[in-house]
């Protein structure tokens, strides 16, 4: 398995970013929609007779068209039952179009070449907000044998049509609320300071590590106010974090994440990390860089004081011949032992 470590050169944990990059306006969000329908026009790749709900759906559709037929008498393999999902963007208006996703729920082999029948799309409140219909696109791919694959999910570009609007009255509001994408006391206070400094008055109040309350100035509309607020730059404090993908063996880490001295054993790998004021180069030792040396017995890492980082540790473990799985397990154990203070997220 290939192993990659992606490192970002971080000189500081504080950056200048726009407020829109780190916070959302409460109430301005997408809304999930869902529906059930049939995809027709398949080339014998639809649901078989074992998908009883598909046969019943076909019978119900025909009955609505004054054609009375029992489900057991239907033998078509050109139809597939599907779930239709979509996201309705905020401030969408009647007649707006949007993309929808179609996914098979029966035993269909492929939705290629199919057409979705008109489908009501409902929100969490059970009301119909849009209709969907159109030709399904599966974005054809080729297999190693040169044959086309047959996915059971696809897109319908601009296949959704807004029928009911979700009202959001921002214009007549005096107050608005920002919600930080990640809870952080310093960032919440930073937004408060940046906004108040921009307007030279108290218009923002940090309510908690994730919420900032805004009051519209008298000389601006709410739309103008929010547009300006989103564009204001703030000092953003980013938490140190290590992200590990165990499936692919990928580690994403900042260069400056410190590792404290530790002695640990993992399988046949023994790690003894020692910090020294100056790193010497004993006979037979291996130098990883100017600040880190692998000992003669190939299980000791000598690092210059203040330079023991996750990035250097991973490079050293690679020199020792550790596998990606070993390196990930070692980092997880170090985090549990307190040798690494940064947040560790496994995906």
Residue-wise pLDDT for 23-56, tens only, equals 999 989 999 999 999 999 999 998 888 888 988 9
- Residue 9: inside a domain: no
- Residue 205: inside a domain: yes
Q: Residue 5: what pLDDT?
A: 38
Q: Tell whether the model's pLDDT for residue 241 goes beyond 90.
A: no
Which of the listed residues 95, 129, 162 is the one where a domain comes to its end? 162
Which of the listed residues 146, 162, 178 is the one where a domain comes to its end? 162
Q: What CATH number did the domain enclosing 196 receive?
A: 3.30.1360
Triad 132, 138, 139: Cα angle to 5°: 130
Residue-wise pLDDT for 61-74, tens only, equals 888 888 888 888 88
Show the tokens assigned to 140: 């054809």
Q: Residue 154: what pLDDT?
A: 93
Residue 125 sits in the same domain as residue 248: no
Residue 184 sits in the same domain as residue 222: yes
pTM over 0.75: no
- Residue 3: inside a domain: no
- Residue 4: inside a domain: no
Q: Residue 121: what pLDDT?
A: 97
Residue 225 sits in the same domain as residue 130: no
- Residue 1: inside a domain: no
Residue 306 sits in the same domain as residue 188: no
E-assigned strand segments in 148-268: 153-162, 175-180, 204-208, 211-215, 233-237, 241-245, 250-254, 263-266
Residue 154 sits in the same domain as residue 39: yes
Q: Residue 286: what pLDDT?
A: 58
Number of domains composing the chain: 3
Which of the listed residues 102, 130, 162 is the one where a domain comes to its end? 162
Show the tokens assigned to 162: 């807004």
- Residue 43: inside a domain: yes
d(CA 249, CA 191): 36
- Residue 11: inside a domain: no
Residue 266 sits in the same domain as residue 325: yes
Angle (deg, nearest 10), helices 310-319 and 324-337? 140
For residue 325, give its domain range: 241-346
């Amino acid at each position: 398995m290939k192993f990659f470590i992606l490192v970002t050169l971080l000189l500081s944990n504080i950056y200048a970013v726009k407020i829109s990059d780190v916070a959302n306006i409460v109430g301005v969000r997408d809304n999930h929609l869902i529906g059930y329908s049939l995809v027709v026009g398949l080339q014998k790749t639809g649901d078989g007779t074992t998908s009883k709900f598909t046969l019943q759906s076909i019978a119900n559709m025909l009955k609505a068209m004054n054609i009375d037929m029992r489900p057991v008498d239907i033998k078509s393999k050109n139809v597939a039952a599907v779930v239709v999902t979509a996201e309705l963007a905020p401030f969408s208006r009647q007649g707006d179009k949007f993309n929808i996703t179609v996914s098979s729920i029966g035993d269909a082999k492929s939705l290629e070449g199919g057409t979705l029948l008109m489908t009501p799309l409902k929100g969490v409140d059970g009301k119909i907000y849009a209709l969907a219909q159109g030709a399904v696109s599966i974005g054809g791919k080729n297999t190693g044998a040169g044959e086309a694959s047959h996915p059971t999910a696809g897109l319908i570009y601009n296949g959704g049509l807004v029928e009911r609007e979700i009202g959001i009255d921002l214009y007549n509001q005096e107050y608005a609320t920002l919600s930080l994408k990640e809870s952080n006391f310093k960032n919440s206070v930073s937004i408060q300071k940046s906004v108040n400094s921009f307007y030279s008055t108290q218009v923002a109040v940090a309510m908690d590590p994730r919420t900032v309350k805004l009051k519209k100035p008298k000389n601006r509309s709410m739309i103008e106010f929010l547009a300006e607020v989103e564009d204001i730059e703030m000092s953003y404090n980013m938490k140190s974090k290590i992200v590990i993908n165990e499936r692919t063996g990928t580690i994403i880490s900042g260069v400056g994440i410190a590792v404290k001295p530790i002695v640990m054993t993992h399988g046949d790998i023994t790690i003894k990390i020692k910090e020294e004021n100056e790193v010497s180069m004993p006979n037979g030792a291996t130098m990883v860089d100017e600040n880190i040396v692998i000992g003669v017995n190939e299980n000791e890492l000598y690092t210059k004081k203040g330079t023991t980082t996750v990035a250097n540790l991973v490079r050293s473990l690679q020199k020792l011949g550790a596998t990606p799985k070993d390196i990930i397990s070692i980092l997880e154990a170090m985090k549990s032992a307190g040798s690494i203070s940064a947040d560790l997220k496994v995906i």
